[in-house]
């Protein structure tokens, strides 16, 4: 048996929170990935879901790098403040016409605040006759989240649901 890392603990909490919502019927989980990169000694976990009545997909990703793991497992380096994960959110919208991007940006800033890195990108295939657009909205927290902020990760699920509802 091994002692779980901050990454493991935070992954279990996030995964549990979303599966609880899925069991209640509040969301529908559409994908899940748990990856370990042996070349870089990094980990990532993501879970994707949507509201039962809509097609906008939300994806929550947590990741940690070798320095984050080393800070936790090697107390001699005295760098415990590096033990944690990075959080990134994505919202994927598929639409037939271009969105009002300023309105979408306002929705995201209203929910997530000015302190987050928010980016929007739109994609379409000009060779397809229907020219359906796909827009990717990304929210990056830009800082390390530690186990001390575990409750904030669970609380974040409410903000994600609110974002999905407002983007419908």
Alpha-carbon span 101 to 45, nearest angstrom: 29
Helix or strand or coil: residue 146? Answer: coil
Q: Which residue bears the tokens 């042996």?
A: 38
Cβ atoms of residues 94 and 132 within 8 Å:
yes
Alpha-carbon span 7 to 84, nearest angstrom: 6
Residue 168 CA: distances (Å) to CA of 51, 98, 164: 9, 14, 6
Tokens of 19: 């599966």
Residuewise pLDDT in 10s, the chain (168 residues)? 467 888 999 999 999 999 999 999 999 999 999 999 999 999 999 999 999 999 999 999 999 999 888 888 887 666 667 888 999 999 999 887 778 889 999 999 999 999 899 999 988 878 877 777 899 999 999 899 998 999 999 999 999 999 999 998
Provide the 10 A C-beta neighbour count for residue 107: 17
């Amino acid at each position: 048996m091994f002692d779980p890392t901050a990454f493991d603990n935070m992954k279990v909490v996030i995964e549990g929170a979303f599966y609880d919502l899925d069991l209640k019927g509040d969301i529908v989980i559409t994908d899940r990935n748990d990856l370990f990169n042996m070349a870089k000694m990094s980990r990532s976990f993501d879970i994707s879901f949507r509201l039962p009545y809509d097609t906008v997909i939300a994806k929550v990703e947590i990741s940690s790098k070798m320095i984050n793991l080393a800070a936790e497992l090697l107390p001699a380096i005295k760098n415990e403040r590096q033990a944690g994960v990075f959080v990134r959110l994505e919202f994927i919208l598929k639409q037939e016409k271009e969105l009002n991007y300023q309105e979408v940006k306002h929705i995201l800033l209203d929910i997530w605040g000015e302190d987050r890195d928010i980016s929007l990108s739109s994609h379409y295939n000009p060779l397809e006759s229907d020219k359906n657009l796909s827009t990717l909205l990304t929210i990056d927290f830009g800082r390390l989240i530690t186990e001390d902020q575990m409750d904030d990760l669970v609380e974040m699920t409410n903000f994600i649901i609110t974002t999905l509802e407002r983007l419908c």
